A and B are shown apart, each in its own frame.
Chain A
Amino acid sequence: MKLALIGFGQAGGKIVDKFVEYDSEKNTDIVRAAVAVNTAKADLMGLEHIPENNRVLIGQSRVKGHGVGADNELGAEIAEEDIDEVQGAIDSIPVHEVDAFLVIAGLGGGTGSGGSPVLAKHLKRIYTEPVYGLGILPGSDEGGIYTLNAARSFQTFVREVDNLLVFDNDAWRKTGESVSSGYEEINEEIVKRFGILFGAGEVEEGGEIAESVVDSSEIINTLTGGGVSTVGYAREEVESPSNNSSGGGLLSRLTGDDDDDQLDTAHTTNRITSLVRKAALGRLTLPCEIDGAERALLVMAGPPAHLNRKGIERGRKWLEEQTGSMEVRGGDYPVRGSGFVASVILLSGVTNVPRIKELQQVAIEAQDNIDEIREESEDNLNDLIQDDDDELESLF
């Protein structure tokens, strides 16, 4: 699946940057174009892999390249005002070669949180290609204002995109990490999951053809209908030809001989079903109850010899039972020479998400608190500057 990636705000830009790096490093060919949009010049300068002329600085007249300071209303306003500048960068994308747009943004901040729904709306109005969002929720310890931003942005973003894939930082937080290494790791996890998911339908020349292909349309159909999606992922190391000491040295690797044919089918099947369970019940990008999911897609990736149809079918059936949905698609994504077998599960249209409810709760509290304090502080300020009997007069 070929994507046009647009990273909005700091988090969005960084993730798109990481995506481009992954794409060129692993040669997956899923990123057709990458654009980063921001109101802060420093954030754009920190990117490494996105081409310079695809970095768009907006709102220069309002904030002079210093960002919006976690004010997502201002972010949305600026995005609306300067949408033509963003469009200018998107114009250079050969949209006919693109299967979908993916707008990536952190929802807790200002620019991405406010601007990405605006951009999504704009894109949907102009292009027929689906516009997906990838929203990053802030961790619950990041503070009330970020939670409030996220809750408001989430609401709007879901409405404006064809489907919102969500990644919850809270579920991935670890203690004792530095800020940069923590985010770096999380970004890597994000890119790995979505890279495999979107890479599944992309057949490269001379590459392995899947038995039951996961085509772009399968991904698009799974995401159609809107709502919120989450992704599960699990992998297991296998004896790849590269570290297989029993058979196949360099020569057999060169000649392409594969003596994995005699792999135990039962073992392979069991591994696949266990990986499917692990992916679905383990840590999802947005933790939720999977039985409410409307649609699901199962992608099994790994060396061809380690994938078998029976296992994938069984995994798919199990997923049907668990989600209660009849719309569960599945297929394989052969990656020759890989040392892992991985399963990626896309659950679309999930509704039973306690984390979102919690987020909204905290957001409402934060909003009330902010209003309250604002009112109170006005009175308090008056108390402070007025003398008790109002005897003093101001100068003019």
Chain B
Amino acid sequence: MTTTSWNHSSRLYAVLAVCLLLAAAVAPAAAVSVGETDVPDSAAVGSEVSVTIQLTELYREPSLEEWELAGSTELENPTWTVVFFDQTGSKIGQESFGGQEFSGATVAASDDIDQIEVQLRGTVPSVTEYTYDPHQRFTAATLEQVPPGGGSNELASEEVPYFTEDSQSARSALDAAASAIENAGNPNEASSTFDLAVNAYESGNFDNARQLAQEAQNQAERAQQQDNRNQLILMGVGALLVVGLVAGGFLYWRSQQDSNDRLG
């Protein structure tokens, strides 16, 4: 019985070891790698933003001598600029594209291209769907590698949280409410009001969301005050109990003494 179970487990260990070895062998086989990227942390709707993505290790995994770079974005009125560098880091060429999608920037080893920098400028689009958690985002840039035979590999995809003035103020109200609720130990009433506020936010009803968030925050604070008060009352009762016990004990002790027995 014991030997079989040992056999089982040893086999398991063997399988695990093999898996680990395989993983170690596969891991270095990375595709085209993304170097420095410059993407804004968040962006207001209607503002102009720029995104920069560097690509290196251009001809590994799959080892292609030549391929085409394609890209897409949700930014409006975008301008794509693809800049090529050689191994010494000197710029050797540049191509520009318009439109939310571009393709056809040829990357070939024979052209001495060793690094690519994709620069993109455009206007942040209006929000299609609001989500509180995670923050609603738009795709600022997606880069793909198109091999000569067709098909595509995604190289990079950058998403940026975006907002309007209204949504941002509603969101900060929601954030404040959330932290108040957490501090108060997640009271039920405040949590459900908070859920309603999130719903209102997600359906774009920001005034309502703000109000609900404010209310949730108030409820949470009230709950916390109540909690504090209860705790205080409990402590008071406890203290009274202790005092009572001590006094009672003392009186009992004194009553046990014979000192006030007139006949004692």
Q: Which of B84-92, B97-105, B234-242, B250-258 forms contacts with chain A? A: B250-258
B263 at the interface (CB under 8 A from A): yes
A337 to B262, CA, bound (A): 10
A199 to B256, CA, bound (A): 22
In the assembled complex, the CB of A177 is this many whole angstroms from the nearest CB of chain B, namely 22
User: Is there an interface contact between B252 and A250, defined as CB atoms closer than 8 Å?
Assistant: yes
User: Is there an interface contact between A335 and B255, defined as CB atoms closer than 8 Å?
Assistant: no
Interface of A is mostly: mixed
A242 at the interface (CB under 8 A from B): yes
User: Is there an interface contact between B263 and A25, defined as CB atoms closer than 8 Å?
Assistant: no
Contacting residue for B263 out of A27, A242, A250, A338, CB 8 A: A338
A341 to B252, CA, bound (A): 22
User: Is there an interface contact between B262 and A339, defined as CB atoms closer than 8 Å?
Assistant: no
Contacting residue for A242 out of B255, B259, B262, CB 8 A: B255
User: Is there an interface contact between B261 and A196, defined as CB atoms closer than 8 Å?
Assistant: no
A268 to B259, CA, bound (A): 25
In the assembled complex, the CB of B246 is this many whole angstroms from the nearest CB of chain A, namely 15
User: Is there an interface contact between A337 and B252, defined as CB atoms closer than 8 Å?
Assistant: no
User: Is there an interface contact between B261 and A301, defined as CB atoms closer than 8 Å?
Assistant: no
B264 at the interface (CB under 8 A from A): yes
- Can you name the residue of chain A whose Cβ is closest to the Cβ of B259? A25
Chain A CB within 10 A, most for which of B255, B259, B263: B263
A235 at the interface (CB under 8 A from B): yes
Q: Which residues on the A side are within 8 Å of B263 (C-beta)? A: 196, 235, 301-302, 335, 338-342
B128 at the interface (CB under 8 A from A): no
User: Is there an interface contact between A338 and B259, defined as CB atoms closer than 8 Å?
Assistant: no
Interface residues of A in 195-254 (CB under 8 A from B): 195-196, 199, 235, 242, 250, 253
User: Is there an interface contact between B252 and A338, defined as CB atoms closer than 8 Å?
Assistant: no
User: Is there an interface contact between B262 and A28, defined as CB atoms closer than 8 Å?
Assistant: yes
A160 to B258, CA, bound (A): 39
Contacting residue for B260 out of A26, A195, A235, CB 8 A: A26
Given A242-B256, A250-B252, is A195 in contact with B264 using a C-beta cutoff of 8 Å? no
A30 to B261, CA, bound (A): 15
User: Is there an interface contact between A337 and B261, defined as CB atoms closer than 8 Å?
Assistant: yes
Q: Which residues on the A side are within 8 Å of B252 (C-beta)? A: 250
User: Is there an interface contact between A339 and B264, defined as CB atoms closer than 8 Å?
Assistant: yes
Q: Which residues on the B side are within 8 Å of A301 (C-beta)? A: 262-263
Q: Which residues on the B side are within 8 Å of A235 (C-beta)? A: 263
A51 to B258, CA, bound (A): 26
Q: Which residues on the B side are within 8 Å of A337 (C-beta)? A: 255, 261
Q: Which residues on the B side are within 8 Å of A302 (C-beta)? A: 263
In the assembled complex, the CB of B249 is this many whole angstroms from the nearest CB of chain A, namely 11
A212 to B117, CA, bound (A): 118
Interface residues of A in 23-41 (CB under 8 A from B): 25-28
- Can you name the residue of chain B whose Cβ is closest to the Cβ of A195? B262
- Can you name the residue of chain B whose Cβ is closest to the Cβ of A250? B252
Interface residues of B in 183-207 (CB under 8 A from A): none
Q: Which residues on the B side are within 8 Å of A342 (C-beta)? A: 263
A340 to B252, CA, bound (A): 19
0/1 string, A333-358, CB within 8 A of B gives 1: 00101111110000000000000000
- Can you name the residue of chain A whose Cβ is closest to the Cβ of B261? A338
A199 to B259, CA, bound (A): 16
User: Is there an interface contact between A199 and B261, defined as CB atoms closer than 8 Å?
Assistant: no
In the assembled complex, the CB of A258 is this many whole angstroms from the nearest CB of chain B, namely 15
User: Is there an interface contact between B261 and A339, defined as CB atoms closer than 8 Å?
Assistant: yes
User: Is there an interface contact between B262 and A199, defined as CB atoms closer than 8 Å?
Assistant: yes
- Can you name the residue of chain A whose Cβ is closest to the Cβ of B260? A26
In the assembled complex, the CB of B259 is this many whole angstroms from the nearest CB of chain A, namely 6
Q: Which residues on the B side are within 8 Å of A242 (C-beta)? A: 255-256
Q: Which residues on the B side are within 8 Å of A26 (C-beta)? A: 260-262
User: Is there an interface contact between A338 and B264, defined as CB atoms closer than 8 Å?
Assistant: yes
A258 to B260, CA, bound (A): 20
A301 to B262, CA, bound (A): 9
Q: Which residues on the B side are within 8 Å of A28 (C-beta)? A: 262
A27 to B264, CA, bound (A): 13
In the assembled complex, the CB of A96 is this many whole angstroms from the nearest CB of chain B, namely 26
Q: Could you pull out 11 A-B pairs where Cβ atoms are within 8 angstroms?
A: A25-B259, A196-B262, A242-B255, A242-B256, A250-B252, A302-B263, A335-B261, A337-B261, A339-B258, A340-B263, A342-B263
Give the 5 A-B residue pairs with the shortest CB-CB distance, closest first: A340-B263, A26-B262, A342-B263, A338-B263, A338-B261
Given A302-B263, A338-B263, 16 further pairs, Cβ under 8 A: A25-B259, A26-B262, A28-B262, A196-B262, A196-B263, A199-B262, A242-B255, A250-B252, A301-B262, A335-B263, A338-B261, A338-B264, A339-B261, A340-B261, A340-B264, A341-B263
